[in-house]
Amino acid sequence: MKLTTGMLVTRYSYEHDIVFRVKNISNETVLLHGEDLRIEADAPIDDVRILPEEDIRERQEEIKEKEEYSYRLFRQDYQLMKDKKDIEHKKKEPRNVQRFQLPVKVLHLDGDRLYLKKCIELYQRLGLQVHGAYVPESDLPFEMQKYIEKIQPDIIVITGHDAYSESKGSKKELSAYRNTKHFVEAVRIARNWTSHLDQLVIFAGACQSHFESLIRAGANFASSPDRVNIHALDPVYVVAKVAYTPFMDKINVYEVLKNTMTGEKGLGGMETKGLFRTGLPYVDTK
C-alpha cells in the first residue's frame, strides 16, 4: 500500500509506541502528527509502518474508553460542586428565587484542525461556550491580538503540536523545541492584555513543551513539566475545571489534573480562582 497523507502509522525505530497521522511527505522524509497526542515528529519514509485496519479499530476503542473515563470523572466532580452550591443557596435564599449564570467565554487557538474539531465537540458536550480557530503554531503570536479583541475571552487555550529534540540542545534551551517559542510569545501577548491571572486564565503548550517558560510568560496552566506527551483533549478538561469552579473558590492544581488523561507529569499550573458566577433573580424574557 502506498503511503499517503492522512494515513495512520507507527515508527519501527520507536517500537510502534505512538500512533501518528501522516501530515506531509517530502522526498524520503515524512512529517508526522500524533493522532491523540500533541506531538510532531519527522521520520525517514522506510521507518514508517502503515497501521493495519484491525489495529486501527482496536486502538480507537481503547482511546474512546479512556476519553469516556475522563469525561465521567469530570461530570462527577461537576455534580459535587453543583450540589454543594445548591445547598448553600437554599440555606441563604428564599425557595422561590431563581438564579442565573454568566457563561464563560473560551478562545481556543489550535495548530491542528482535527484536534480543534474534537476539542470543540467536547466543549459543547460539557456545556461550555467556545470560539475555536485553527492557527498554525508559528502564526500564533501574530494572530493573538486580533482574536482577543474580537472575542474578549475569559479563558484562552494556546496549543497545537510540539516536541523536544535532544540533538538540538538541552532541555533548558527553547531552540531545542519545535514550537514552544511560538507558544511563549503568544502567551506574552495575551498576558499584556491583562496582567491579572484571575481575570484572564491561559492554558498553553503541547507535547513535551517547555513548561517553565510558558508559566514565566504568564500562563496559568501549561505543559509539560516532565517533557512527556499530553493527550489532545487534556486542555479542555483544564478549562472546564476553571469554568465551573465558583469565582470565590481557589482551584487546587491537583484537582484540575486528576481528570486529565496525562496527569501531573504532563500538565501543571498556578493556583487560580474559578470563573463560575451566578446572580439573581432570574428573569424570563420569553
Q: What are the tens digits of pLDDT across the range 217-269?
A: 999 999 999 999 998 899 998 999 999 998 888 888 888 887 788 888 999 99
Hey, what's the torsion of the CAs at 28, 180, 137, 268, to 10 degrees?
Answer: 120
Confidence of residue 282 (pLDDT cuts 50, 70, 90): low
Instruction: Please indicate, yes or no, if residue 153 is contained in any of the structural domains.
Output: yes
Interior angle at CA 184, CA 21 and CA 272, nearest 5 = 100
Together in a domain, 24 and 127: no
Instruction: Please indicate, yes or no, if residue 59 is contained in any of the structural domains.
Output: no
Instruction: Please indicate, yes or no, if residue 92 is contained in any of the structural domains.
Output: yes
Together in a domain, 15 and 137: no
Together in a domain, 19 and 127: no
Quote the cell numbers at residue 166. 535532544
Together in a domain, 16 and 121: no
Question: Domains in the chain: how many in total?
Answer: 2
The DSSP code sequence of 230-258 is: -BTTHHHHHHHHHHHSBTTSEEPHHHHHT
HSE value, Cβ hemisphere, 13 Å, CA-based, for 114: 13
Percent of all residues in the chain with a pLDDT value above 90, rounded to a whole number? 53
Together in a domain, 76 and 159: yes
Residue 204 has what pLDDT? 98
Instruction: Please indicate, yes or no, if residue 61 is contained in any of the structural domains.
Output: no
Report the range of poorest mean pLDDT among 7-21, 50-64, 113-127, 223-237: 50-64
Q: How far apart are CA 89 and CA 67, in angstroms?
A: 33
Together in a domain, 115 and 177: yes
Instruction: Please indicate, yes or no, if residue 150 is contained in any of the structural domains.
Output: yes
Instruction: Please indicate, yes or no, if residue 57 is contained in any of the structural domains.
Output: no
Residue 117 has what pLDDT? 92
Q: How far apart are CA 98 and CA 89, in angstroms?
A: 10
Instruction: Please indicate, yes or no, if residue 187 is contained in any of the structural domains.
Output: yes
Together in a domain, 45 and 77: no
Give 159's strand partners: 110
Together in a domain, 75 and 171: yes
Instruction: Please indicate, yes or no, if residue 95 is contained in any of the structural domains.
Output: yes
Together in a domain, 169 and 36: no
**φ, ψ of residue 281 in degrees (nearest 5):** -90, 160
Together in a domain, 218 and 167: yes
Confidence of residue 281 (pLDDT cuts 50, 70, 90): low
* Contact (Cβ atoms closer than 8 angstroms) between residue 211 and residue 180: no
* pLDDT tens column, 142-157: 999 999 999 999 999 9
Coil vs helix vs strand at 13: helix
Residue 55 has what pLDDT? 81
Domain boundaries, position 32: 8-51
